[in-house]
Chains A and B, each alone.
Chain A
Amino acid sequence: MEKTKYSFIKKVAPYAGLIALVIIFSLTTDGRFVAARNLTNIIGQSMVTMIAACGCVFVMAHNNLDFSLGGGCALIAALSFRATKAANLPLMLVVCILFGIGCGLITALIHVKGRIPAFMAGMCIMFVGRGVVEGMATNMVMNLPADSSRYANNLFYLIFLIVVFAICVPLFNYTKVGKMQKLIGSNPRAAQLSGVAVGKYKVIAFAISGATLGVASFLTMIRIGSVTKTIGSGLETDVLIALTLGGIPLTGGTGTRIRAAFIGSVTYFVLGNGLTLWGLDANLIYIVKGVVFLATVFATMDRTDQEYVL
């Protein structure tokens, strides 16, 4: 009985949170929040995060955090620009995805072969990525061709979003790849002793996360129109907070739902947008986001199992 009630609350909480935010912001911003332009703006912002979060779910399901996203996004953008000179956009997309998978594989191999926590391996990618982009951006201007700006619209992003979801959702819910992530997240030791090739499936998860990161990186370039020094900065925390708001268990496991990527990203950008409309100072918004994140973690994290020695 307890369980059904609790899991019901867990299931509806992310939706309830989003609806509550939408109602609050609708009532307190003189209609500016619900204006069509504002809403499309929110959706446009959230879609890139959603795509990256979608792959990141695989990593979080097996109880790891991918800290490479922001720096990885920058690294992929810079390298793919260098490789293709942005002459051919479809080719550039493919290159982005390949570099993305490469980033994921590097993180995963450091983690699995080197037995180093994945978030540390991810941070290494983050620093390398930042360094490479800052260096390249100081030495040259990396603008995409002018005509690429016509792709910078929500419909174009939506097509990518649909494709990414159409691949990731069945992969996560109805194939071994997804099932194994959840088992590993639940109990890695039991998973190994149930015949799960733990290392292999972790590597697959990071490769998927890398692939969606490649797509996200490509779309970010399209949106900005160039490769800037700050491209992708903060993506890893955006994704982490979005997934948490979407109700993902921070320790992974069988309770992980891929819908967290969708609902959480929207909630996250609604929150940011609403606070801006309230006229809140940008730095203050960071603080509010931090508090909301902590509150969500506090409310959702399952601590019954862990014995904290304090």
Chain B
Amino acid sequence: MEALLKVENISKEFGATKALSDVSMTVYPGEVRGLIGENGSGKSTLSNIIAGIHKMSDGKMMFLGAEYRPESVLDSRKKGISLLAQETGTIAGMTVYENMFLGEETAGGKSRFVNARRLKKATKEILAENGLAHIQPEDNVERYSFEDRKMIEVARAVWHDPQILIIDETTTALSHHGRQKIYEIIRQMKKNQKSVIFISHDLDEIMNVCDSVTVLRDGNYIDTLPHDRMNKDTIRSLMIGREFDGRYYRPDWVCTHGEQVVLKAEHIVYRNILKDVSLELHEGEILGIGGLTDSGMHELCKILFGAIRPDKGRVTYMDNTEITSPQTAMKKRIAYIPKDRDTESLFIFADIKDNIVASSYDQIKKQGFIFPKSEHELAEKTAASLQVKMRDVRQYVGELSGGNKQKVAICKWLANESQLFLMDCPTRGIDVGVKANIYLLMQELKKQGKAIIMVSEEMTELIGMSDRILILKDGECSGEFLRQDHPSEQEVIQKML
């Protein structure tokens, strides 16, 4: 059969980071291809290149028998490839119809001027066709829920009648109804001999929806499995590169921690993101917080560190000090490792030394002065303790790999001897080796009686590491699991959706 899309030896670098190396993939008409891999394996990079968001550094693509080099999202859409992005792809502050025809306001019309009336009418028709008649074209998209906004995007993508539709982890955030809608669209596309590239974390979903699945790991192509060879264990071991035995997590299944409550959050309310969340963290406890990305758990983590002021409620340290700013949190030796490493955690254009000592100046200053020698000693000592792979501490952090960057980010808080760690997705987008290092470190910190809150989107990691798991859903606590009860992934996911 003639290939619809051929991706040949594609590579992509972001600065010093290699996001994809030498990846090839062929998609045939009428095929639903799954794309799977751990965070940071390159799935989104690959789909973004196909959809024209990123440009490949090296390689070639063939689409419908001709060379394919999309200049932009609009260009690829025109050529017949549409993308449903992972995050929201509508622009807040604009109306539904403006979003629907974004970048193509004059398409189909005779004039070069934008004819709002025509666009509104067309939008209304498109929405109605997709069973979204309750959405008004003139309304600001902000008025609608995440799910409705996502469905507007879906309608927009389908309206362009693409040859290939890329669905990048869209379904995880949708309700049952929304998911069914997308599955229906996939079935339609298949029937019309069109193709879908389907990205999801959910193995069950991949098994149900896809005809074949391509596995990526650390930016490398691993294998493509046809439907008859797809089974969960094979896929999982291909994803992590060895037999899955769960051994890099904690070996024990008992809940062990001290009695002392070290951090307490009471009735936290923040915009419409968090509705009355309370929690207690004990010494020597690893408290996992799970949920969907928009469940409010990332914001909760920032609130615990004092970086966001909640509208109501308070966060207190064990000596009853209220945490109102990152400075008060730091005085109590609280550490915060943000989810977004490059923009919130690191000083990319500074060297490793400056990054590591950034929170420790108070510890190393002598009579108010900070001497380069003490900076170097502290940075070297801390980097060595976590085995950061580097030339020396004067190397720019931007040159390091994702895993080593994360080590530097953690070093910043080991250097000032933090006692309480707030980790937001600490293993996001890093390779398995560094992941194992971080899990070991967490167990080490726990042994020393230090408390850890780990916000995570990965079920296995939450279950594998936490003494206790809190699940947030739509800004509320929807479930709690104890380690000794040995919760299953299914049980936990059910509380999230």
| CA gap between A255 and B349 in the complex, in Å | 8
The segment from A101-109, A147-155, A171-179 that touches chain B is: A171-179
When distances are taken between beta carbons in the complex, the residues of chain B under 8 Å from A196 are 326, 358
| Interface flags, A294-307, vs B, CB<8A=1, else 0 | 00000000101100
Q: How far is the CB of A169 from chain B (nearest CB, A)?
A: 12
Neighbour of A193 across the interface among B338, B349, B354, B361, CB < 8 A: B338
Cα A175 to Cα B372 in complex, Å, equals 11
Q: Which residues of A contact B350 (CB under 8 A)?
A: 182-183, 186, 253-254
Structural contact, A195 and B399, CB atoms closer than 8 A: no
Of B336, B354, B395, which is in contact with the most chain A CB atoms at under 10 Å from its CB? Answer: B354
Name the interface residues of B294-333: CB closer than 8 Å to any CB of A.
305, 307, 325-327, 329-330
Contact of B349 with A305 in the complex, beta carbons under 8 Å: yes
Q: Does A197 contact B (CB under 8 A)?
A: yes
A162 proximal to B (CB < 8 A): no
Q: How many angstroms from the CA of A179 to the CA of B361 in the assembled complex?
A: 9
**Once the chains bind, are B395 and A3 in contact (CB under 8 Å)?**
yes
0/1 interface trace, chain A 188-199, chain B, CB 8 Å (1 if under): 011111111100
Find out whether the CB atom of A176 lies under 8 angstroms from the CB atom of B365.
yes
Most buried by B among A187, A195, A254, A304: A195
Are A174 and B370 within 8 A (Cβ)?
yes
By a CB distance below 8 angstroms, the chain A residues around B361 are: 176, 179-180
Q: Is the CB of B307 within 8 A of A175?
A: no
Q: Would you call A170 and B369 a contact (CB within 8 A)? A: yes
In the bound complex, CA of A254 to CA of B398 (Å): 13
A193 touches B358 (CB 8 A): no
Determine the chain A residues whose CB is within 8 A of the CB of B348 once the complex forms. Answer: 186-187, 305
Q: How far is the CA of A182 from the CA of B358 in the complex (A)?
A: 10
Residue from A174, A182, A255 in contact with B369 in the complex, judged by beta carbons closer than 8 Å: A174
In the bound complex, do residue A187 and residue B347 qualify as a contact, i.e. CB atoms below 8 Å apart? Answer: yes
CB distance from B134 to the nearest CB of A (A): 35
Interface magnitude class on chain A? 20 to 34
Q: For the complex formed, measure the closest distance between the CB of A181 and the CB atoms of chain B, giving whole angstroms.
A: 12
On chain A, the residues within 8 Å of B347 by CB distance are 183, 186-187, 190-191, 253-254
Give A184's nearest chain B residue, CB to CB: B347
Q: How far is the CB of B315 from chain A (nearest CB, A)?
A: 15
Measured CA separation A303–B72 after assembly (Å): 21
Known: A253-B350, A254-B347, A305-B349. A193 touches B370 (CB 8 A): no
Give every chain B residue within 8 A of A182 (Cβ-Cβ): 350, 354
Q: A189 CA to B326 CA in the complex, in Å?
A: 12
Known pairs A179-B370, A190-B344; A254 contacts B330 (CB<8 A): no
A176 contact from B325, B329, B354, B370, Cβ within 8 A: B370
Point out the residues of chain B lying under 8 angstroms from A179, CB to CB.
361, 370
Would you call B346 an interface residue if the criterion is a C-beta within 8 Å of the partner chain's C-beta atoms?
A: yes
Q: How far is the CB of A179 from chain B (nearest CB, A)?
A: 6
Q: Mark B340-353, 1 if CB is under 8 A from A, else 0.
A: 00011111111100
For residue A254, which residues in chain B have a CB less than 8 angstroms away from its CB?
347, 349-351, 354
C-alpha gap A190/B15 in the complex (Å): 20
C-alpha gap A302/B369 in the complex (Å): 30
Say yes or no: A193 contacts B344, CB within 8 Å.
Answer: yes
Contacts of B369 in A (CB 8 A): 170, 174-175
Residues in chain B near residue A304, CB distance under 8 A: 15
Indicate which residue in B307, B327, B345, B358 contacts A197 across the interface (CB closer than 8 Å).
B327
A130 CB to closest chain B CB, in angstroms? Answer: 37
Most interface-central of B325, B329, B336, B361 (chain A CB within 10 A): B361
Q: How far is the CB of A75 from chain B (nearest CB, A)?
A: 32
Least Cβ–Cβ distance between A190 and chain B, in angstroms: 6
**A302 contact set on B, CB distance < 8 A:** 349
Interfacial residues of chain B within 345-392, with CB under 8 A of chain A in the complex: 345-351, 354, 358-359, 361-362, 365, 368-371
Question: Is B396's CB within 8 Å of the partner chain A?
Answer: yes
Check B359 against A189 for contact (C-beta < 8 Å). Answer: no
Q: Check if B412 is an interface residue, CB within 8 A of chain A.
A: yes
A180 to B362, CA, bound (A): 12
CA distance A222 to B365 in the complex (A): 39
Chain A proximity of B247: nearest CB distance (Å)? 33
Pairwise interchain contact B368-A175, C-beta atoms closer than 8 A = yes
- Taken together as a complex, chains A and B put the C-alpha atoms of A73 and B308 apart, in Å, by 39
CA distance A304 to B343 in the complex (A): 15
Contact call A195/B368, Cβ cutoff below 8 A: no
Q: Give Cα A255–Cα B358 distance, bound, in whole angstroms.
A: 15
Residues of A within 8 A of B330 (CB): 195
Are B368's CB and A193's CB within 8 A? no
- Kindly list chain B residues whose C-beta atoms are within 8 Å of the C-beta of A187: 343, 346-348
Q: Is the CB of A194 within 8 A of B412?
A: yes
Residues of A within 8 A of B345 (CB): 190, 193
| B-contacting residues, A242-263, CB 8 Å | 253-255
Contact call B343/A190, Cβ cutoff below 8 A: yes
Minimum CB–CB distance from B390 to chain A (whole Å) comes to 12
Residues of A within 8 A of B343 (CB): 187, 189-190
Whether B358 contacts A183 by the Cβ 8 Å rule is yes
10 example contacts (A-B, Cβ-Cβ < 8 A) are as follows A174-B371, A175-B368, A182-B350, A182-B354, A183-B347, A186-B349, A197-B325, A254-B350, A304-B15, A305-B349
The 8 closest A-B pairs by CB, nearest first: A195-B330, A186-B347, A254-B350, A195-B326, A194-B358, A174-B369, A187-B347, A186-B350
User: Told that A190-B343, A194-B358, A195-B330 touch, could you supply 19 new A-B pairs with CB distance under 8 A?
Assistant: A3-B399, A170-B369, A175-B365, A175-B369, A176-B365, A183-B350, A186-B350, A187-B343, A187-B347, A187-B348, A191-B347, A193-B338, A193-B344, A194-B412, A195-B359, A196-B358, A197-B325, A253-B347, A254-B349
Residue positions of A touching B, CB distance < 8 A: 3, 170, 174-176, 179-180, 182-183, 186-187, 189-197, 253-255, 302, 304-305
